[in-house]
Amino acid sequence: MIEGFHIAESPKDIAFYASLLFSSFAIAQTLTIMYWSRLSDRIGRRPVLLMGLSGNFVTFLLFAVSPTFYLALGARSLNGLLAGNVAVIKSVLAEISDDSNRARVMALLPLVWNVGSVAGSAVGGVFADPAREGGMLEGSRLFTLFPYLLPCLVGSSVTLVGLVLGTFVVKETLRKRGDSESVALIGGRPRRGFRELMTPVVGSVMFNNAVSSLVISMSDQIYPIFAATGRGDGGLGFDSREIGYSLAISGLAVFYLQLVVYPRMERRYGALGCYRRGLLVLVPYLVAMPWVSFVAERWLVWPLLVGLLLVKVAGQVLVFTSINLLTVNLAPSREDLGFMNGVQQVAMSATRMLGPLMGGVAWSWSLRMGTGYPLNSHFVWILSAALTAAVYSEVGDLDKVLRVVWRQLPLELEPSGVLVKMLAAPVNPSDLNQIEGTYPVKGRFADEVVGREEGSSVKRVAVGGNEGVGVVEAVGSGVDDLRVGDWVVPRRAGEYGTWCTRTVVERSAVAGVPLEWRLGVDALTVGSLKVNPCSAYRLLRDYVGLAPGDWVIQNGANSGVGRAVIQMARRMGVRTINVVRDRSPDEYGDLERELCSLGADLVVRDSELGAEWLRTRVRELGPLRLGLNCVGGRMALAMSKHLGLGATLVSYGGMSRQPVVLPTSLLLFRDVRACGFWMNRWYENCGPVERDRMWRDVLAMARDGAFVAQPMGVSTWNEDLGLEEMRRVVETAAAWNSAKKQAFVFA
């Protein structure tokens, strides 16, 4: 096509103009993709998809009938401006899937992309210039004038089919608050701003996404040019039909790789592990491909070529499917899916703009220079392989980013400084999410001197942990309300990290725990005070005026908050129905006895929530006035159906990572109220008097034996704690089926 525009001065310049034409789409798409993505968050996914398909249909035909290079360039650019569908489709797939099937569903997008790429290449190779001598439409005036119209008509007809299906078959997937069918609670907050969403982990994922796209787009664009280049210049000497066949043959493997291989690998290695393996798979393809030209005239060329293209397809499947999964999993809510996928698409489009240009320029330059290896036809492939190695980096895995280091504390305290020796600190799920970058409260990064004196250096680090108790060892000259020996806890989450032997903090960052409150209470209980027991305390007091004899239903009953709810409700004379996850009969029996010993009145499996015997029992007990949810998804829905008239459902967690959806009938006819609770938000809004009263009450319950903290696996942290022990504790805490909460006690 470029040759037909008569713009290239020599065959060696064709790669440059092809790269420019290829990149124009990505350049234009980069400018508008965020607009389309955010628009889909507001008006819905379906309208934006239909607009994108309409734009693609029109601009594809304009491209086909462009008589000059610059008109073709304009048509491609207009196509890019109107193309927001890829990012929106990712949001749709995320909204129609859940954790149980998301890997398989998200694998469909790269599947259809690869099938389309292969089919498009084959269509282009077979149907291009049909009016030529020996062509299927030899002598046609229309196709002589527009030699590339036929493959574009085939492509436009596919777009037209998609447009018709989208208009009459596809349904809207974006649920908005106030929807006539349901109300989504989890993820139903106003859209977040750019700074809230662009966490360090998100930035790392987007960087890896960008450079991976750069590498793959460069190699994708250069392959047909490499294949079409003469053998004397380091190419294969293929015609357009042979290029199309080579891509079509390798593309057949996409179905098996996407639908069978990837879901199995994702279950075993996770999305990040699959991404890394995909990068490693691409390296041999990039290194070996230019050497195929040495056997271009022999029968070996096709087995070698197809084998390498299969390796390339496998690498692309692993890389792009994993990046899509990582991006979707980083979105805090459904309303932010469009933004997250838009940012991902911007990163991809920007580098897909640069990749073809870099590849085309590097190819043309290497042919013009006429130098030997590695600056000959191998140069662009070597460049791609080098870029692949450079993006083999971390994106926030706990086992990768956590380190145990020496921190050199200041020799002199500031007037408002407090030196704290830690006594005990639990490992909460929110601590792990914060390290991964997926928790709303971010860690406090600061420049600190790290390492032993002989090998110390200044690094920007954040200390893990948000909860714990320590003892004051020294205070600054301006601190007059704390003394050496006092116990202190963080005033709020994120004030300072608690997983350390000693730390220096501002006086405003800590709250004292008076001796009379903590007499008879061990350090681990005091260190675990602020989150789980205090959440239970507030949940039972702030939403419904519970009276002795009232009933409460909760899921996640064996969690830290759930156990505290059972014990505090018993102290108030309130009865509890406690839902736990299905497990073996022996395990269930042990857990039931344990929860009943704490004061549970009724323990049921989640599979029994729809049972007729439970509905009958609830009717006998009287209306349930309060439901407490920390799981979400189907369990929250099934539990909410037992709530009585005017009851309140409070969500304080979402362990299933599925939204809480309430049927309209519960809202209209039973007047069920739904809201959320976050302990950190309560601390931000409360006064010190109210906070201290709560802490005093909870510690009094612990001292009197009315409240027993959740069983914990305790690890002793001394000056020589090793990284392996730290990782063991964190991995145990992160396991979904961990029997005990983990905690550190400092020697």
Chain CA centroid to CA 394, Å: 14
Residue 320 Ramachandran class (φ > 0 left, ψ -120 to 50 alpha, else beta): alpha
Among 325-329, 372-376, 447-451, 719-723, top mean pLDDT goes to 325-329
Calculate the alpha carbon distances from 295 to 243, 374, 635 in Å. 16, 18, 62
User: Among residues of the chain, what percentage have pLDDT more than 90?
Assistant: 18
Cα torsion angle, 638, 544, 578, 737, sign: positive
Give the C-alpha separation, 327 to 206, whole Å: 8
**3-class DSSP assignment, residue 672:** coil
Place of tokens 């042919």: 367
Q: Is 439 a catalytic residue?
A: yes
Give the C-alpha separation, 269 to 513, whole Å: 45
- Mean pLDDT, range 313-324, rounded to an integer: 84
More confident residue, 608 or 351: 608
Place of tokens 């020294």: 474
Given the residues 17, 148, 439, 496, the one annotated as active site: 439
In one letter, which amino acid is 514? P
Per-residue model confidence (pLDDT) at position 154: 87
Q: Which of 18-27, 358-367, 712-721 has the lowest mean pLDDT?
A: 358-367
Per-residue model confidence (pLDDT) at position 320: 82
Q: What is the band of 543 on the pLDDT scale with cuts at 50, 70, 90?
A: very high
The β-bridge partners of 506 are 417
Please write the tens of the pLDDT for every residue from 589-599: 999 999 999 99
Give the C-alpha separation, 305 to 299, whole Å: 11
Neighbours of 492 (CB within 10 A): 15
Name the CA radius of gyration of the chain, rounded. Answer: 31
β-bridge pairing 673-676 and 643-651:
parallel
Give the C-alpha separation, 208 to 292, whole Å: 29
More confident residue, 721 or 48: 48
Write the DSSP string, 401-454. H-----B---SS--TTEEEEEEEEEEE-HHHHHHHHT-SSSPP--EEEEES-GG
Q: What is the band of 80 on the pLDDT scale with cuts at 50, 70, 90?
A: confident
CA geometry: angle at 37 spanning 35 and 39, to 5°?
65
Give the C-alpha separation, 134 to 139, whole Å: 9
- Which DSSP letter does residue 677 get? -
Reported as half-sphere exposure (CB side, CA atoms, 13 A), residue 319 has a value of 28
Residues of the chain with CATH 1.20.1250.20: 2-171+195-392
More confident residue, 307 or 197: 307
To the question of pTM greater than 0.85 for the whole model, the response is no
Per-residue model confidence (pLDDT) at position 496: 84
Among 114-128, 199-213, 263-277, 679-693, top mean pLDDT goes to 679-693
Tokens of 394: 């971390």
Q: Provide φ and ψ at 182, rounded to 5°.
A: -160, 165
Q: What is the band of 640 on the pLDDT scale with cuts at 50, 70, 90?
A: very high
Please write the tens of the pLDDT for every residue from 390-402: 332 233 455 566 6
Q: What is the band of 466 on the pLDDT scale with cuts at 50, 70, 90?
A: confident
In one letter, which amino acid is 101? N
Give the C-alpha separation, 311 to 282, whole Å: 7
Q: What is the band of 88 on the pLDDT scale with cuts at 50, 70, 90?
A: confident
Give the C-alpha separation, 333 to 91, whole Å: 11
Q: What is the band of 448 on the pLDDT scale with cuts at 50, 70, 90?
A: low
* Second CATH level (architecture) for the domain 402-526: Alpha-Beta Complex (3.90)
Residues of the chain with CATH 3.90.180.10: 402-526
Neighbours of 37 (CB within 10 A): 26
- Mean pLDDT, range 525-546, rounded to an integer: 92
Element (H, E) at 458: strand 457-461
Please write the tens of the pLDDT for every residue from 687-715: 889 999 999 999 999 888 888 887 788 88
Tokens of 392: 């083999």
Per-residue model confidence (pLDDT) at position 455: 53
Q: Provide φ and ψ at 744, rounded to 5°.
A: -105, 135
Question: What is the chain's mean pLDDT, rounded?
Answer: 78
CATH number for region 532-685: 3.40.50.720
Q: What is the band of 537 on the pLDDT scale with cuts at 50, 70, 90?
A: very high
Give the C-alpha separation, 619 to 615, whole Å: 6
β-bridge pairing 643-651 and 624-629:
parallel
Per-residue model confidence (pLDDT) at position 671: 93
Give the C-alpha separation, 579 to 137, whole Å: 71
Give the C-alpha separation, 189 to 185, whole Å: 8
Cα torsion angle, 34, 164, 77, 324, sign: positive
Place of tokens 């406690």: 578
Give the C-alpha separation, 364 to 14, whole Å: 8
Among 85-94, 146-155, 294-303, top mean pLDDT goes to 146-155
The β-bridge partners of 425 are 744
Give the C-alpha separation, 391 to 466, whole Å: 32
Q: Which of 5-19, 39-53, 171-185, 297-311 has the lowest mean pLDDT?
A: 171-185
Among 32-41, 160-169, 210-219, 245-254, top mean pLDDT goes to 160-169
- Which DSSP letter does residue 111 get? H
**3-class DSSP assignment, residue 557:** coil
Reported as half-sphere exposure (CB side, CA atoms, 13 A), residue 181 has a value of 5
User: Among residues of the chain, what percentage have pLDDT more than 70?
Assistant: 76
Residues of the chain with CATH 3.40.50.720: 532-685
User: H helices then E strands: how many in the chain?
Assistant: 30, 17
Superfamily for 2-171+195-392? MFS general substrate transporter like domains (1.20.1250.20)
Write the DSSP string, 38-91. HHHHHH-HHHHHHHHHHHHHHHHHHHHT--SHHHHHHHHHHHHHT--HHHHHHH
Give the C-alpha separation, 465 to 745, whole Å: 13
- Which DSSP letter does residue 233 get? G
pLDDT above 70: residue 240: no
pLDDT above 50: residue 381: no
Tokens of 142: 């229309």
Give the C-alpha separation, 457 to 475, whole Å: 26
Per-residue model confidence (pLDDT) at position 549: 93
Tokens of 160: 């037209």
Helical axes 585-598 vs 560-572, angle rounded to 10°: 40
Q: Provide φ and ψ at 365, rounded to 5°.
A: -65, -45
Per-residue model confidence (pLDDT) at position 599: 94
